[in-house]
Amino acid sequence: MRTRFDQLAKQLTRAALAACGPVETDAEAPADPRRIDLYFEPDAARAPIPSFLGLLGRITAAPSTLEFFHNTPGGDELADCIIKHGQFRHYLALREPPPPVPTLWVISSGRPDGGIEGLRLRRTKGWPVGIYDGPSLLWTRLVVVSELPVVRNTLLLRLFGAGRVLTQAIAQLKALGPDAPERRLALPILLRLRLEILADPDDQTLEDQEFLMHTQDIVESWRQEAIQEGVKQGVKQGIEQGVKQGESTVLLRLLRQRFGSAVDAHVERRVATASIEQLDTWTTRVLTATSLAELFAD
């Protein structure tokens, strides 16, 4: 992937579609070991694409490949995507049975004027502003994220934007209620990106720092929502026990995001038996600790 924000787009889209059909990330186009960011084919035997995905769901309602560009691509980069997509279509045709021909969707944070002009891309009829397509045999469409209407239907795609567009989308996501499906889908992935940036301070860009600033309350939001959930579940056991259950839940979520499979049964037992004060200390420390040993150090 080109940037960590392109990785965010790939992870969010994969999570959004995983229940609806097979999703391949980094799918190989073997003629020249290059890889497709994401390939998806809806499966009628599995869950339907949820309506809350909005425009992202409409884009992926048919077989598709997606290429994400957090940095606006030049004309040559767009042309290269089309060449790679052609190689990938040829590779798919060799499968038995061959799957339907996918449409290439290029998701660009900004408007690639050179590519739009050079590839003769034009506004797509029947779609919102910001969607372009080319000649039919190119099997290619372009999404200019910065041009999309600022409505809830485009929210998930606008999280793939840059600068002001991304900042605005994050603010709108956080303003949704805790049960909003867009929020439940996107917040864990935004949190994962935040932890990744915090773990690598020497390589932080100005955009990374702006992202950290605009997402600094995500952890606290998760913490408060988990506490409330724990309180509701633990009313019969008393409010204090409910708060502790909520604190434990959010800490384990953060630990799994940060340390993955290292969070084993021993760690779960240690969290389950800790005091509320200790849980609060560990929840704060998880943002900066580089290992579980450092996090649990007295």
The pLDDT assigned to 239 comes to 44
Token look-up 């060449």 returns 83
Q: Write out the E strands in 72-119.
A: 103-108
Helix (H) or strand (E) holding 24: strand 23-29
The pLDDT assigned to 33 comes to 53
Residue count of the chain: 298
CA dihedral sign, ordered 53, 58, 61, 64: negative
Q: What angle do CA 62, 66, 67 make, to 5 degrees?
A: 165
The phi, psi pair for 39, rounded to 5°, reads -125, 130
d(CA 218, CA 294): 23
The pLDDT assigned to 242 comes to 53
Q: Is 240 helix (H, G, I), strand (E, B) or coil?
A: helix
The pLDDT assigned to 235 comes to 44
pLDDT string in tens for the chain (298-residue length):
567 888 889 888 988 998 898 888 776 555 455 788 999 999 989 999 999 999 999 999 999 999 999 999 999 999 999 999 998 988 899 888 899 999 999 999 999 999 999 999 999 999 999 999 988 888 999 999 999 999 999 999 999 999 999 999 999 998 998 889 998 888 878 887 887 887 777 888 888 888 888 887 776 676 666 666 555 555 444 445 555 666 777 778 778 877 888 888 888 888 888 887 788 788 777 767 778 888 888 6
SS3 content of the chain, % helix, strand, coil (to 5): 55, 10, 30
- Token pair recorded at residue 41: 């084919």
Cβ contacts of 290 within 8 Å, gap of 6 or more = 199
* Phi-psi region at 108: left, alpha or beta (left = phi > 0; alpha = psi -120 to 50): beta
d(CA 252, CA 261): 12
Q: Output the pTM of the full model.
A: 0.74
Q: CA-CA-CA-CA torsion for 40, 42, 47, 49, nearest 10 degrees?
A: 80
The pLDDT assigned to 262 comes to 85
Q: Is 40 helix (H, G, I), strand (E, B) or coil?
A: strand
The pLDDT assigned to 50 comes to 93
Domain ranges of the chain: 4-213, 218-296
Neighbours of 50 (CB within 10 A): 15
Neighbours of 201 (CB within 10 A): 10
